[in-house]
Chains A and B, each alone.
With several copies, the nearest count.
Chain A
Amino acid sequence: MSTPTEVAVPKEHEGTREISLAQAVNEALAEELRRDPTVVLIGEDVAEAGTPFKVTSGLVEEFGPERVLDSPISEAGITGIGLGASMTGMRPVVDIMFGDFLTLVMDQVANQAAKVHYMSGGRLKAPLTVRTTLGATRRSAAQHSQSLHAWVSHVPGLKVALPSTPYDAKGLLKTAIRDDSPVVFFEDKMMFAVKGPVPDDEYTIPFGAADVKRDGEDVTIVATSSMVYVALEAAERLAEEGVSAEVVDPRTLVPLDRKTLVASAKKTGRVIVVDEGHRSYGASAELAAAIAEDAFYWLDAPVRRAAAMDVPVPFSPVLEDETVPTPDLIVEISRSLLGKA
């Protein structure tokens, strides 16, 4: 992942602090645990260890082992227990250490949590939050580097958030926990150390509201999660070439703020979608297809996709680095879209 370019926080907030994305997530969890006694956190090594990423450090000390629970290595089991608790008055946050382990909870998430409200004719609800990770380039190889957000985004009944900044992460996670529907929340494990401004005062960010991370006129770069930084860096470089790129972050894939994406596409007439999931049958396909559907007559060129290569993530750095979108690639695609290549 490339180093972040500064991303601003909406005016309305008074003071702000620079904190890491990990701290922002930690604050969101702490604040919700504080304000709502029905919130609990369940996961492997989430208590004393604070997770391998140290994201939940300090929570068990403040809220105790009844509300911050170290679980056995039973992803399906803890997700099922979180679901049952959510159906009976609790708002559990289940921690799935690596997004790759979603493979183990798809039944609980897709067949159970996603469908409970609908199948019961609206009588039962499942305010469950599943926190997990995505992202490669950590030299963790094929089973610890996947970005599987497309799977859950394909399941009606689930909401899906993938924040790119500490500000978005905190505001969206608080919204996720308070949401009455199940939410799958993705954090890029390479972004935990990324710092950014976060308001001193309390706030939440609504789902379904894309955020324009940078205004531009010539080309639209729709980017998710850490790919926002790749897009912003590409935009910087393009600026030097006199190309004005707009960077749009959907922030939630479900619900999707189609309006903002399409508006930007209509404005610039050229679109690149950047996502770290595999290219084929991935989230980038839906974003590209949706934009092409609604902005077709405004497009000067086909919507282009930049996504993870369609290969299992290799271990060797020289190979792994080939598999993810880079600022160079985005710049190159932008040039070709503008007929400058």
Chain B
Amino acid sequence: MATEAVPAAEIGAELALRMYEQMQRIRSFEEQVDQLYRSAKMPGLAHLYVGEEAVAVGVCEALRRDDYITSTHRGHGHCLAKGASVDRMFCELLGKEEGYCRGKGGSMHIADHENGNLGANAIVAGSTGIATGAAFSAKARGTDQVAVCFFGEGALGQGVLYEVMNMAALWKLPVVYVCENNSYNEYTHFSETTAGDIAARPAAFGVPVEEVDGQDARAVYAATHRAVERARRGDGPSFLVCETYRYYGHHVGDVDRAYYRSKEEEEQWKAERDPLQILGAWIVEHGFAEEGELERIARDVEAEVAAAAEHAQDAPFPDPREVNEDVYAD
């Protein structure tokens, strides 16, 4: 993740390759998670981010390390994109002591405060208040930090989102709402749950909106960069609607999906709008790297991920006596 945000104009080789590597890292990580689930090595369930990598990476590359993000039940991608390490994440997913939350949070609650990740959230729209409050805090403390609030289009059903957007607009808070529209609220198409036009909603609360191709990391990066600049300038919140798609099921256990979406639809997205292919092609086209270089990145990342998964499986569980620690902060 960038320490200094790069201006939208110059998406050069370095940034492009870093984005490619990060997206690859997320994909490898998630495919590994799926394997762990299938081989019954992971407790509980997980919501995979595969297919949506360009959103998390495009957004987080436009942020500084000290900027904040809040995440969702589908949060592994956000966490990695904001700078988390794969080994501590696997440890958390397996409930190990070395995990980011010492095993107390798990997949749906990973937080990484050193990198500004205030946590995934298992309540849909549950972190919209937290992100807006972090922006309030940044402004009150006189820093130029920005808070990004990730959520799926299903969160548009939760009233609290409108309550906090209203205040973000009134108080010109430096927050960027990032709606990841992957078309499905679990097993129901968003058109059955969402009246009117998504973009009109934030606009009605005085929050400027931009619609972005969520499969194009460069487009996401550029749009985020504009929104972040606006926020740092003190001009208040923005809202990005990123059209994207999840390749896997709602969660790792959701394998028979025919009753709510067609195989054709899935195949078409993978074939025509894969974020890694799109950025990879652009990189090669611009001569920033050759196919081989990209393949090497993929291999290295896969090796890193495989090693981390191994490590996590061997890592120790927390001492059961830790169960009643950390209930109160003092």
Contacts and interface: CB of A to CB of B under 8 A. Distances in A.
- A and B touching (C-beta < 8 Å)? yes
Interface of A: 38, 40, 44-45, 47-49, 52, 66-67, 69-74, 76-90, 92, 100-101, 103-104, 107-108, 111-112, 116-127, 138-144, 156-157, 159, 179-181, 309-312, 314-319, 321-323
B185 A309 contact: no
Contacts of B44: 138-141, 315
A66 B100 CA distance: 35
B12 interface: no
11 contacts: A45-B188, A70-B193, A73-B124, A80-B129, A81-B136, A89-B141, A101-B123, A140-B45, A157-B328, A179-B329, A316-B95
Interface stretch (B101-109, B224-232, B267-275, B279-287): B101-109
Given A119-B109, A120-B109, A319-B320, 20 more contacts: A49-B188, A49-B260, A73-B154, A77-B160, A81-B129, A85-B133, A90-B140, A101-B123, A120-B104, A121-B101, A122-B329, A126-B329, A140-B44, A143-B121, A156-B327, A157-B328, A311-B323, A315-B44, A318-B317, A319-B104
B128 A80 contact: yes
A143 B126 contact: yes
Size category of the binding interface on chain B: 35 or more
Contacts of B126: 107, 111-112, 143
Instruction: Report the 5 A-B pairs with minimum CB-CB distance, sorted nearest first.
Output: A80-B129, A84-B133, A315-B106, A77-B163, A316-B95
Contacts of A124: 111, 113, 118-119
A176 to B, nearest CB: 12
Contact of B137 (A66, A85, A140, A314): A85
Contacts of A319: 95, 103-104, 318, 320, 322-323
A89 B142 CA distance: 12
Given A74-B166, A90-B137, A322 B323 contact: yes
Nearest to B316: A318
Contacts of B134: 84-85, 87-88
Contacts of A116: 119
B164 A77 contact: yes
Contacts of B136: 81, 84-85, 90
Contact of B141 (A38, A108, A122): A38
A97 B143 CA distance: 31
Contact of A72 (B92, B105, B185): B185
B137 A88 contact: yes
Contacts of B107: 141, 315
Nearest to B250: A52
B288 interface: no
Interface centre among A88, A101, A144 (most CB of B within 10 A): A88
Given A78-B167, A120-B111, A315-B104, A87 B327 contact: no
B109 A117 contact: no
A316 B320 CA distance: 9
B123 A76 contact: no
B330 A181 contact: yes
Contacts of A144: 108, 122
A90 B101 contact: no
